[in-house]
Structures are given as structure tokens and as C-alpha cells.
């Protein structure tokens, strides 16, 4: 049996670490899991060039891994974190990724990721003691059945939230008549120029997020998520339309959706910024 020695260190030589990495990569490749790891990083800088927010991670084996997402405390709730995450997801799709995964603590950003479609698939308790780490993932493969529109609106989150949860709010920017029972399971009815859409409120987080179904005349069913990041008189709105239908039905509709919803959101922006 070959002789060897064990060494323990908290300051390993980078060259030694690389030997282990290359050895494992070679074995993985021999098993059909060729390593295709590519770093991914986004940074937001202020006018002086200082980094005020950033996301670091990587893509590999069809997944985006979000290692760190940080925004300066002064810029939290301005939509900057949402923009970084959305940009990373879009880049992951361009790199042919089908999913994203990450880990966040009970003291970190669990609600933030929940609102953006991430689901918990595992936990580690007492890490650190008294807290829990959550392993989360989100499927990106349905990007072909989802459109995402964003707007920065010079209005408070309260005003924007009301535009999606009150009948008079809807009528001001989107339709001729509306009914909106803004509670879980409450009904939504939109009417405009002979067109009817019916839905149900699925999630309500006052002044932060609202999700509802949308079943319009001669259209496949959809789910609409509205995410709001902001404070005072500025709100970053993320508007997502997800097709709850076959790929064939969605393909016939998706190319049409950008224009009417984009026009409607422009109306909302103009209305609230008067």
C-alpha cells in the first residue's frame, strides 16, 4: 500500500487547491459530467464609480448559482436588487440554463426570493445557532412561457399597489369597468371595449406584491405577478405574465402580449407621475 502523509492547513497553497479541483473535474468528465463552470457577476456603481450593489455566482450543468446578492443599505427597497437578480436570470437563460439555485438565511432575504418565484427544497437548522439556512430553486425552463416587463415609476408603492387591487385603480389606467375583491381567493373582472378578463387573487402583500390569475376572452389562462420595490415617491415595478397552458397555445399568444401590456403600463406610469 502506498505511503502518504496528511496535512491540515487553513492557508492552503492555491496550486495545491487547483490539483484537487482538476482531479475532481477530470473524474466528473469521465462520468459524462463535463465541467462547464462559468463565473457570472453584476455590479452597480454610483457616479463616482463605487460599487453600491452586486451579484456574484456562476453557471454550470444547466443551473445558475447565486452565491451573493447585496445592495447598500441606502439603496434597499429601490428595486436595485430585483434588477440585478432579473439580469442574472436573463443571462442564465442566454447560457442555456434551465434553473437557478441559491441559499439564504432566515435573517437574510427569504421573503424577497419567495416573491420572485423561488421555492424552498431543503433547510439546515442552527446555521448559525438560532437561525435556519434555506436552499431555494426556481425553474427557468418556462421562460419561453413568460414575459417580464419593468417600469420605474415616480410614485409610492402604495399608489402602484392600489392600481392593481382597487376597481377604480384599474379603470384609471387599463379598462372601462372593473371589479376587484382584493383578498385571497377574491375575484377580479376587467372589461374593455367588448373584451372580458376574469381572475382570482392568489397572493397579496400590501404595497409590495400581488399575484392573480387572468383568463381573457379567447386566450389561454395566465398568471400575473406584480412585484414592487420602492420607497417614498419611487417604485420599481416588475410585471410578469406566465402562461398556464401548452407551449403551442403560448407560442400563438406570447408575441402579442408585450405590446398591449407595455402600453398599459406606460399609461399607468403617466397617470401616477402627473
The two beta strands, 195-205 and 38-45, are unpaired
Mean pLDDT of 17-24: 93
Please report which confidence band the pLDDT of residue 31 belongs to, taking 50, 70 and 90 as the band edges.
confident
Supply the angle between the helices 247-272 and 157-165 in degrees, to the nearest 10.
130
Number of Cβ within a 10 Å radius of residue 105:
14
Cα-trace Rg, the chain: 23
Is 51:44 a contact under the CB 8 Å cutoff? Answer: yes
163-201: buried (b, 16+ CB within 10 Å) or exposed (e) per residue? bbbebebbbbbbbeebebebeeebebbbbeeeeebbbeb
Average pLDDT over residues 93-108: 91
What are the residue boundaries of the structural domains of the chain, listed by start?
Answer: 14-141, 144-272
Nearest C-alpha neighbor of 37 from the set 118, 121, 104, 97: 97
Q: Which contacts qualify for 45-52: CB closer than 8 Å, 24 or more apart?
A: 52/80
261 pLDDT exceeds 80? yes
The yes-or-no verdict on residue 144 having pLDDT over 60 is no
Q: Are 169 and 162 in contact (CB under 8 A)?
A: yes
CATH of 14-141, one of 3.40.630.40, 3.30.1510.10, 3.40.630.30, 3.20.20.70: 3.40.630.30
Helix residue spans in the chain (DSSP H): 14-30, 80-94, 110-115, 157-165, 167-173, 247-272
First to last CA, the chain: 81
Fold of 144-272: Alpha-D-Glucose-1,6-Bisphosphate; Chain A, domain 4 (3.30.530)
> Given pLDDT bands bounded at 50, 70 and 90, which one contains residue 267?
very high
Amino acid at each position: 500500500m502506498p505511503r502518504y502523509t496528511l496535512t491540515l492547513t487553513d492557508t492552503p497553497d492555491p496550486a495545491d487547491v487547483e490539483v484537487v479541483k482538476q482531479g475532481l473535474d477530470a473524474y466528473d468528465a469521465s462520468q459524462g459530467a463535463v465541467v462547464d463552470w462559468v463565473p457570472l457577476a453584476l455590479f452597480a456603481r454610483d457616479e463616482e464609480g463605487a460599487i453600491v450593489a452586486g451579484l456574484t455566482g456562476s453557471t454550470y450543468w444547466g443551473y445558475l448559482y447565486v452565491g451573493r446578492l447585496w445592495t447598500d443599505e441606502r439603496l434597499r427597497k429601490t428595486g436595485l436588487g430585483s434588477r440585478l437578480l432579473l439580469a442574472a436570470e436573463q443571462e442564465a437563460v442566454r447560457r442555456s440554463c434551465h434553473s437557478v439555485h441559491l441559499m439564504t438565511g432566515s435573517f437574510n432575504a427569504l421573503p424577497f426570493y419567495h416573491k420572485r418565484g423561488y421555492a424552498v427544497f431543503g433547510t439546515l437548522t442552527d446555521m448559525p445557532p438560532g437561525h435556519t439556512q434555506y436552499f431555494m430553486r426556481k425553474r427557468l425552463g418556462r421562460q419561453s412561457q413568460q414575459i417580464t416587463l419593468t417600469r420605474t415609476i415616480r410614485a409610492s408603492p402604495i399608489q402602484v399597489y392600489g392600481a392593481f387591487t382597487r376597481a377604480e385603480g384599474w379603470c384609471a389606467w387599463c379598462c372601462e369597468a372593473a371589479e376587484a375583491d382584493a383578498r385571497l381567493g377574491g375575484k377580479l373582472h376587467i372589461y374593455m371595449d367588448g373584451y372580458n378578463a376574469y381572475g382570482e387573487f392568489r397572493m397579496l402583500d400590501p404595497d409590495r406584491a400581488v399575484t392573480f390569475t387572468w383568463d381573457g376572452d379567447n386566450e389561454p389562462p395566465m398568471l400575473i405577478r406584480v412585484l414592487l420595490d420602492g420607497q417614498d415617491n419611487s417604485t420599481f415595478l416588475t410585471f410578469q405574465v406566465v402562461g398556464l397552458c401548452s407551449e403551442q397555445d403560448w407560442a400563438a399568444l406570447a408575441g402579442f402580449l408585450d405590446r398591449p401590456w407595455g402600453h398599459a403600463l406606460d399609461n399607468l406610469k403617466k397617470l401616477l407621475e402627473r
